[in-house]
């Protein structure tokens, strides 16, 4: 579920009213109040240290996630990215739905630093959700932020070609390995040379181990909306090893 700004404000106000009626001196409630009172969006290091750090240190890590993660949602709503990073470092028990809600909020409002803080602390993200972030992005700047995050997370030399295919290019020697999880085979492209470009294609089951396949599939799954199911390297069809001319589409 995605909360609008008005709904988020009502949710925070309702929480603070309940805490006030209980007459408690609670650092959690005090931090919520400090976030709710923020008039400016964003958070500098000096603001974080003077306004939030002492309160955060007074809250047990296990309590940060209480009340359906409202503290995380409030921080995302006001782009308090340093507070978010601190909380994500303190505990890894945040419910996935809370982090998704916070990320959707940041994407829709164009909070790029908040978005990065949340994504860096999100332990498991799938491509369908990443596509939601792109679809709900406030503007082209936020979409660029998300695309840069995808490129950096994939790593140097990696590129997604389709929902079922990802490739890795290496240098010295120059090779392109194309992992096709729809057909369950990997294609190695050897460009150039006197004999022209060569292509070697093997079924997954013909590989010695599935270490590289697992890495490739996790990268594909994280950033494509409809990846095929990966059933392990032994799910390949009949053995195919081919050498043939091929266009440079993947190189």
SS3 content of the chain, % helix, strand, coil (to 5): 55, 10, 35
d(CA 48, CA 239): 59
The average confidence (pLDDT) of the chain is: 87
Taking the domains of the chain in order of start, what are their residue ranges? 5-154, 158-235
Give the pLDDT score at 196. Answer: 78
d(CA 159, CA 165): 9
Six-digit token pair at 95? Answer: 């419910």
Output DSSP code: residue 204.
G
Cβ burial 171-204 (10 Å sphere, 16+ → b, else e)? eeeebbbbbbbebbbbbebbbeeeeebbbbbbbb
Mean pLDDT, range 201-230, rounded to an integer:
92
Give the pLDDT score at 23. Answer: 47
Give the residue with greater pLDDT, 211 vs 13. Answer: 211
Mean pLDDT, range 209-229, rounded to an integer:
93
Give the pLDDT score at 116. Answer: 96
């Amino acid at each position: 579920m995605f909360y609008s700004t008005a709904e988020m404000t009502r949710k925070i106000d309702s929480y603070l009213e309940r805490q006030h009626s209980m007459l408690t001196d609670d650092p959690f409630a005090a931090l919520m109040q400090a976030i709710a009172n923020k008039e400016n969006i964003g958070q500098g290091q000096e603001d974080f240290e003077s306004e939030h750090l002492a309160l955060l240190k007074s809250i047990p890590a296990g309590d940060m996630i209480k009340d359906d993660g409202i503290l995380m949602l409030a921080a995302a709503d006001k782009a308090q990215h340093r507070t978010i990073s601190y909380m994500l470092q303190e505990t890894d028990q945040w419910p996935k739905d809370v982090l998704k809600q916070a990320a959707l909020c940041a994407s829709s409002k164009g909070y790029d630093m908040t978005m990065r803080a949340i994504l860096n602390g999100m332990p498991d993200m799938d491509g369908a959700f990443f596509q939601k972030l792109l679809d709900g992005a406030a503007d082209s700047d936020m979409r660029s932020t998300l695309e840069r995050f995808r490129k950096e997370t994939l790593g140097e030399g990696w590129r997604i070609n389709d929902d079922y295919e990802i490739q890795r290019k290496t240098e010295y020697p120059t090779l392109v390995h194309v992992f096709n999880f729809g057909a369950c085979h990997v294609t190695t492209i050897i460009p150039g040379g006197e004999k022209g470009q060569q292509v070697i294609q093997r079924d997954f089951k013909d590989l010695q181990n599935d270490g590289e396949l697992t890495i490739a599939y996790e990268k594909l799954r994280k950033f494509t909306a409809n990846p095929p199911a990966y059933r392990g390297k032994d799910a390949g069809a009949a053995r195919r090893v081919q050498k043939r001319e091929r266009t440079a589409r993947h190189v």
